[in-house]
Chain A
Amino acid sequence: MTALLQTLIFGLATGAVISLSAVGLSLSYGVTRFINFSYGEFLTLGAYLTVLGVAFGLSLPLAIVLGMLAVGVAGVVLARIFFDPLMDRGFLALLVTSVGLAFVLQNLVRMVAGSNPIRFPLPLMRPWHVGALFVPKVPVLEVAVALLAMIVVHLLLTFTRIGKMMRATSDNPALARASGISTARVLAATWFLSSAIGGLGGVLLAMTQIAVQPVMGWSFLLVVFAAVLLGGIGNPYGAMLGSLVVGLGIELGTTYISPDYGHAFAFVILVLVLLLRPRGILRGAF
């Protein structure tokens, strides 16, 4: 029973790490309708910029916030250069461009920061002991940050004007345009929000992985895709739920079946759910 509880705690933390990144990816898909393969690099950028900020003497929270903002801006600029001009060229052109952009960004990071892993500047902390359970502080922190970020995203989508415009564009782009919603503005806001959330997701990933590496976002992208598809692509709330299922699946699978196939469990769950509910757990736009 202790082992199961322990595993559930870790599953929750893994789900939290996946969920932030998944929400960002789902947001951008909801509005742009294409799967952005360069999204993983926004995770990498977020982690590296935070490390850079701390190296320049900033406190960790401030470095994280500035890193997120910088990734958000980078997302808008990159989308303006590479994706916006191709929006009318169809899904394939955008997809291939995003893969190419992913490799360019990944190698730019490698060129500037090198390939060697760099420690994420988080101090070593002993866990809390609750009876026979040990509760590491980092996963608790990750869950708290992810929850907070998702509440902010929810409030933004529900109560702000730009959030409502994003939802309207996601539901029916033509109708949104006819209603006077500026597509360019919505696109820019979406890219900013999606990229900034990705940057924060990268920070949580770095906290889990302890070290940052140029390939970290790209490697994690498949798991994020699994969570997004599982929840219902384009639906941020579905992405949150999908991430939780994937996180728990990975931890339960590695503990009770085999630790060798961590990410494979995520895809087994994905295949099973999609066979039964082809549009994911929660379907529809947000």
Chain B
Amino acid sequence: MRRVAILLAAVLTTVALAQGGAIKVGLLLPFTGQYDWVGANVQPVAQMIADQVNQSGGIGGRDIVLTQGDTEGTVDAGFTAAQKLVNVDNVVALVGPTSLSFSGSKQLIQDTGVPMISPTAGTTELDKAGTKYFFRTVPSDSLGGRAIARAATDAQYLGRSQAFTSPVLMVAKSPAMVSFESPLQNAFQSYGTPLKATLEYAPGKPSYRSEVQDALSHNPDVIVLVGTPEDSVRIMQAAFQAGYQGTWFVTQDQTNADFIKLATPQLANGIYGLEEVASPESAARNDAFKKQFKTYSGKDVQIFGTNTYDAMNVLALAMLRAQLKDGQVTRATVAQNIRAVADPGAGKVDVTDYASGKKALEAGQEINYQGLVGPVNFDQYGNITAPFAIRQVKDGAWTDVTILPASALQ
């Protein structure tokens, strides 16, 4: 009995020491609840990059270990999960959170100085959250809102002879969605076609007949719809039943094949959508990533997959640079090194993944990470800009109409 106890203690000590040597990265995302698909989409990509780093020798011989913090897609649970990751698990950095729970984690991140790179949070709350610890590899909703307004009010981006003149906005009253409201209103106003009406609706209702009647009373020629895919389909179908003949403009969350399947091609035909688009230079790398991920997980890359690829690569390279230059990987050194590996600068070498970045850093060179979503150059608040594709459903599939360059959104 005593032998078993000693053996058990030895095993536990070994495990504890091994854990102590690892560099912990927290995945602060919803893994359960309505938005569990976000965690399910992000986690395998993050794990794939962590595995690549570990197989190439880790960060100074230390493995990256991913630790999950389940935000359940809410502010309260998000705060609890962030506290666990930061104070109990002692993670060095966070991947996440989403817009849904950012407000619950913001102060904790600021106070503890743990850097975060979110591959999912478009919330405008992050636009100017801080200059040291907040980064994201997904464009702000401010930019997405401007892109929708720019395209809707300028016929050249719609692939049709006339721009829309009577836009109405329907937006779900949830933190992730309502973040679009003000940018859209301001952008439509600044492009010379103010919204006829802005209608907020309660998310998750079984039907939206009254809300649709209200929207249609303004005689819109386009309805900009910001909501979850299932609510969007309910609204579109209610409008179809009410005889609406106009067009729809949806956000990134709906601009995918799953949405057409959910809505049916008949209902989805003709709607416009918005999608972050890979720069022409990164198109081949995007294809390579999709194949690599398929081989790794047996699955296709889902929404936020490319953003996660960039977030994890930037984080791993920042850790490596911290190890090489500062001799230690801490929250402070990682936070300082994120810009050093991602932003452009004189004499820097462009790298596109961890392996090429590692090679350059170990050769004593400075690097500028070029991502799948774009160049991943952070502004002073850790935001990125990216071009957008304006897409339209034709014959039951999304087709590219035009590309809106980032310069068109200034």
Contact = CB atoms under 8 A, between A and B. Distances in A.
A220 B205 CA distance: 10
B209 interface: yes
Given A208-B206, A209-B206, A259 B214 contact: yes
A127 interface: yes
A209 B262 contact: no
A210 B34 contact: no
B206 A220 contact: yes
Contacts of A209: 206-207, 230, 234
Nearest to A114: B37
B264 A211 contact: no
Interface string A247-286: 0000100110001111000000000000000000000000
A124 interface: yes
A20 to B, nearest CB: 14
A124 B266 contact: yes
Contacts, number: 73
A261 B173 CA distance: 13
A124 B210 contact: no
Contact of B211 (A117, A215, A259): A259
Contacts of A117: 229-230, 233, 262
A210 to B, nearest CB: 6
A259 B234 CA distance: 15
B267 interface: yes
B201 interface: yes
Interface string B187-205: 0000000000000011011
A172 interface: no
A246 interface: no
A255 B234 CA distance: 17
A165 interface: no
B266 A119 contact: no
Interface in A128-144: 134, 136, 138
A115 B36 contact: yes
Nearest to A213: B230
A178 to B, nearest CB: 45
A13 to B, nearest CB: 9
Contacts of A35: none
Contact of A260 (B202, B234, B262, B266): B202
A14 B211 CA distance: 16
A258 B173 CA distance: 14
A124 B233 CA distance: 12
B267 A124 contact: yes
A116 interface: yes
A259 B243 contact: no
A138 B240 CA distance: 13
B368 interface: no
Interface string B158-170: 0000000000000
B407 interface: no
A197 interface: no
A35 B234 CA distance: 31
B362 interface: no
B63 to A, nearest CB: 30
A272 B327 CA distance: 70
Interface of B: 34, 36-37, 173, 201-202, 204-211, 213-214, 229-230, 233-234, 237, 240-243, 258, 261-264, 266-267
Interface of A: 10, 14, 110, 114-119, 123-124, 126-127, 134, 136, 138, 205, 208-211, 213, 215, 219-220, 251, 254-255, 259-262
19 contacts: A14-B207, A115-B37, A116-B37, A116-B258, A117-B230, A119-B261, A119-B262, A126-B240, A127-B241, A127-B243, A205-B206, A209-B207, A210-B237, A219-B204, A251-B209, A259-B201, A259-B211, A260-B201, A260-B202
